[in-house]
Amino acid sequence: MNEMIRKTQSSVRHTSLDPQDWSAFRALAHRMLDETIDSIANVRARPVWQPIPDDVRAALKADVPREASDLAEVYREFAERVAPYATGNVHPGFMGWVHGGGTAVGMLAEMLAAGLNANLGGRDHMPIEVERQIVEWMRRLFAFPQGASGIFVTGTSMANLMAVLVARTSALGTLARQHGIGNDGALLTAYTSCAAHGCVSRAMDIAGLGTDALRKIDVDADHRIDVAALRTRIAIDREVGFKPFLVVASAGTVDIGAIDDLKAIAALCREEGIWFHVDGAFGALAILSAELAPMLGGIELADSIALDFHKWGQVPYDAGFLLVRDGEQHRQAFAQPAAYLRREARGLAAGTVWPCDLGPDLSRGFRALKTWFTLKTFGTDRLGAVIARSCALAKYLEVRVLAEPRLELLAPVNLNIVCFRYRANDETNREIVADIQESGIAAPSSTTLDGKFAIRAAIVNHRTDETDIDALVAAVLEFGAQRSGDGLIEVVAPPLAAQ
């Protein structure tokens, strides 16, 4: 027997993946950390983004690595082939989509979280308390009652989906989780504006309710949902036997940053007994700025709010979040008894509500830690000031666009997003965006507004300043002149002022 134990021990002895030589590992680890810090500190010296050369893309492809490689060699490959060709959102010239810039502090917190390798599905350990602390901070910031609940998720796409599921279970009762949505579920209808993010429609699809059950209500000139039209549509749907169950308002539309009239929608939802969810992916964190917070008036009346710390919150990806007013309804939509997840009065399995009761994930990483570090290290006032500053920079870009006859503003500037174009056709503007991205000077993205191609700049990164805005404007003018042929400017649209 002892012989057997000895044999087994010797055959498993060398399977640990820890370094054989900790001091060599430590030296390399310090170099990685130094180089990562350098790359963040010197980000301006690099292009915002650069196209991936064919040979670099090809060189990454390899067979399954059955044999071990030297860590230093793997790191070298990362440093040469991966890091230089990343998205570029760390760079202050990145203004595409809605991408956060991250911080060096967040980077460190990610490293610390990886060191703990905590699983935040449940059980009794301090990392869960950190997540609960952030839930509590969010509850206070949005003035939700005691008993509210919250959970970290990948992003607002997931948080919106979970809100649809909570609202669905609230409307149909928990038996629907067992029997399926049935005939009643087939009659459920949800409402959002036609400026809402596409993930709302996808959530209806994934929740099994179907995208047809999502009514997309018209918006006004400022891209805010037409509340009178919303009211009418709900009444019509009720009239013919549908069961309106959910309104998804936008606090910061993806195209132009419009904020729906949250107070009016809250009142309508209360009157109608409909779940009121706010997609505040980036806009909700404007609550941190005393100057901007009033624009979110009514958000405190929501039944649930989805937001991303990885956008305006500057927390490294990914860090989405869902806050639900009634924690019990949240739990009822996801909790499931399982013998192996039994809660005990003491020991590691203590605690009543675990995060796995509040969403579809069981094993979960420690997203809360980088958020906790970010909120504590900078303080919410300073993060709010960063948010307000990106709105001021958007105003600055608006002024620059309005002052330049060759440029045309395409939408009102509400928050941090500016949509404009060179006075030329769609095709030319599409080329201009790609030219600028490939130049490495800046990285705007694009959208379509009222059928027109728009160059879209979303100022999210805390590092962005006036020089980055000036560089973007100069690049649009230069590539615009090149593309439309030596100063021969083709005016296809009247100036905004004449509309």
Q: Return residues touching ligand PLP (CB under 6 A).
A: 98, 155-157, 197, 199, 250, 252, 254, 279, 281-282, 308, 320
For residue 47, what are the contacts with CB-CB under 8 A and spacing of at least 6? 88, 91, 439, 440, 441
Neighbours of 21 (CB within 10 A): 9
Q: Which is nearer to ligand PLP, 199 or 369 (by Cβ)?
A: 199
Give min distance, CB of 292 to ligand PLP, in A. 16
Q: Which is nearer to ligand PLP, 98 or 113 (by Cβ)?
A: 98
- Placement of tokens 């330049």 in the chain: 404
* Core vs surface per residue 311-347: b (16+ CB within 10 A) or e: bbbbbbbbbbbbbbbbbebbbbbbbeeeeebeeeeee
Give min distance, CB of 317 to ligand PLP, in A. 8
**Phi, psi of 479, deg, nearest 5:** -70, -30
CA angle 266, 269, 270 (to 5 degrees): 85
Give min distance, CB of 308 to ligand PLP, in A. 4
Give min distance, CB of 38 to ligand PLP, in A. 29
Question: How far from 328 is each of 175, 177, 362, CA to CA, in Å?
Answer: 15, 15, 19
Three-class DSSP category at 495: coil
Q: Which is nearer to ligand PLP, 184 or 361 (by Cβ)?
A: 361
Q: Which is nearer to ligand PLP, 306 or 441 (by Cβ)?
A: 306
Give min distance, CB of 327 to ligand PLP, in A. 23
Report the DSSP pairing between strands 275-279 and 149-153: unpaired
Give min distance, CB of 394 to ligand PLP, in A. 15
Q: Which residue is nearest to ligand PLP (CB)?
A: 155
Give min distance, CB of 433 to ligand PLP, in A. 19
- Smallest Cα–Cα separation from 139: which of 369, 327, 368? 327
Q: Which is nearer to ligand PLP, 428 or 461 (by Cβ)?
A: 461
Q: Residue 102, by phi and psi: left (phi above 0), alpha (psi -120 to 50) or beta?
A: left
Q: Which is nearer to ligand PLP, 94 or 422 (by Cβ)?
A: 94
Give min distance, CB of 125 to ligand PLP, in A. 27
Q: Which is nearer to ligand PLP, 414 or 428 (by Cβ)?
A: 414
Q: Which is nearer to ligand PLP, 275 or 312 (by Cβ)?
A: 312
Q: Which is nearer to ligand PLP, 253 or 429 (by Cβ)?
A: 253
Give min distance, CB of 315 to ligand PLP, in A. 11
For residue 171, what are the contacts with CB-CB under 8 A and spacing of at least 6? 188, 243, 245, 246, 275
Give min distance, CB of 252 to ligand PLP, in A. 6
- Smallest Cα–Cα separation from 170: which of 118, 243, 105? 243
Q: Is residue 446 a contact partner of residue 430, using CB atoms and an 8 Å limit?
A: yes
Q: Which is nearer to ligand PLP, 309 or 366 (by Cβ)?
A: 309
| Residue 335 CA, distance from chain mean position | 25
What are the tokens at 451? 């059928």
Alpha helices (H) in 366-497, listed in sequence order = 367-378, 380-403, 426-439, 466-483
Report the DSSP pairing between strands 275-279 and 214-217: unpaired
Q: Rounded to the nearest 10 degrees, what angle do helices 466-483 and 426-439 cross at?
A: 130
Q: Which is nearer to ligand PLP, 198 or 347 (by Cβ)?
A: 198
Q: Which is nearer to ligand PLP, 198 or 241 (by Cβ)?
A: 198
Q: Which is nearer to ligand PLP, 106 or 155 (by Cβ)?
A: 155
Query: What span, in angstroms and rounded, lies between the C-alpha atoms of 461 and 100?
Result: 6
Give min distance, CB of 340 to ligand PLP, in A. 30
Query: What span, in angstroms and rounded, lies between the C-alpha atoms of 257 and 264?
Result: 18
DSSP string of 348-383, one letter each residue: TTB-S--GGGSSS-SS---HHHHHHHHHHHH-HHHH
Give min distance, CB of 159 to ligand PLP, in A. 8
What are the tokens at 491? 């005016």
Secondary element (H or E) of residue 307? strand 304-308
Give min distance, CB of 34 to ligand PLP, in A. 31
